[in-house]
Structure 1
């Protein structure tokens, strides 16, 4: 069952205060500068976990999730993969969509997997999307992606979940990133400096607004 943490989600081992249920966070940073690992660390806990992966195979995502301290429990961990990788042998807790451009298919599989997790008694669910960049690359227009993200974040908000969606801002025009950021409650910027991953938070109270070092995994 999900951890009983009241109405807030906590992030042990990270320099972040807890956030209210229903919160959606945009994680902005380059792939090679700690963004993937940080997103997965934000999903750690005893809640249900649902990961949409658009640029990395489900197999690699699950392996990295374990590397950062996650426990692969098929009752509560689900993956929607739209990378065209062959992950079918992992079992029915991984759903595959043919392309990052199939936003309708991703939405259908996400809803189905969410219901599976919820049906198993996990009424608090952490959702991670890594990353939004392929969805934008495959779409000729930002508007369908915006509608997709708005639908996902609305569902998370209504269900008292936690949403963390990553994007590489260097891969898009600033106006695109600004548009995509609208449905989110806050933004976590991440970077690497001299071998240390740092973060700062915008839009949420009582969070580090200046660049703050992220403790390395032990």
Structure 2
């Protein structure tokens, strides 16, 4: 693990990102083949190594598939402080996470997602050390297929405000290739920084990323590895 800096949220050695201060929201941007969503999921799952809460708003994976993906990149993975809002629309099979999974039948129900997010966040905040909770919204692009830009922006703003006020870490995934530039710029307003992800140009690691808008971060493109 990287060295703790002013209580920042830390990441595994394979992720070349220095600790990010509490209250920050980062947008993880990249096309589907870049593994941007995998990076976003991993930035939240890294909380398992520090006993922090991990809360996912999952639009593309069921809760069980998401848990299995976390286990593949983190061994061992402690799911006791993990919560999932499953709005994938897929079969709601019983999860080992039990009551820590909340189901929303459609991605267009932003009100329902928001209510379940608040309930799960409050529950995790009350049991983890110093109220440290990481939230992954994966992904904004998937939600954009069901609601208009104005509603999605207001939803993202509400979620980011809750995370900011609680000193959490927010990780929002977006595929900029599926949106007009105006939409990407609008949604980016809720974030403090941006992590751009692309396929590796020289075949090293699982891809490359660079950080924009956050202080004390490596400059330029850096190789990353998701599996331990």
- TM-score w.r.t. length of structure 2: 0.88
Task: Specify the alignment match of 1:198 in structure 2.
Answer: 208
Two-structure CA RMSD over aligned residues (Å): 1.7
Aligned partners of 1:137 and 1:87: how far apart in 2?
21
Q: Among 109, 118, 123, which residue is 1:111 paired with?
A: 118
Task: Specify the alignment match of 1:208 in structure 2.
Answer: 218
Q: Is the 8 A contact 1:59 1:87 kept in 2?
A: no
Task: Specify the alignment match of 1:149 in structure 2.
Answer: 156
Q: How many residues in Structure 1 have an aligned counterpart in Structure 2?
A: 213
Q: Is the 8 A contact 1:10 1:17 kept in 2?
A: yes
195-204 or 177-186, larger mean C-alpha shift: 195-204
Aligned partners of 2:146 and 2:91: how far apart in 1?
20
Deviations 1:86-117 (A, max 9, x none): 23411211100011111101000101111111
Q: Is the 8 A contact 1:8 1:21 kept in 2?
A: yes
Task: Specify the alignment match of 1:37 in structure 2.
Answer: 38
Q: Is the 8 A contact 1:133 1:171 kept in 2?
A: yes
Q: Among 178, 184, 195, which residue is 2:185 paired with?
A: 178
Q: Is the 8 A contact 1:128 1:164 kept in 2?
A: yes
37-46 or 107-116, larger mean C-alpha shift: 37-46
| Distance change (3 Å), C-alpha of 1:216 and 1:112 | closer
1:73 aligned to 2:73? no
1:127-166 aligned within 5 A: 127-139=135-147, 141-166=148-173
Secondary structure of the 2:199 match is strand
Deviations 1:161-215 (A, max 9, x none): 0000000011111110000000100000001124440001111122133111113
Q: Answer 1 or 2: which has greater strand percent.
A: 1
Task: Specify the alignment match of 2:58 in structure 1.
Answer: 53
- TM-score w.r.t. length of structure 1: 0.92
Residue 85 of structure 1 deviates from its aligned partner by 1.6
118-127 or 21-30, larger mean C-alpha shift: 118-127
23-32 or 193-202, larger mean C-alpha shift: 193-202
Secondary structure of the 1:89 match is coil
Residue 125 of structure 1 deviates from its aligned partner by 0.1
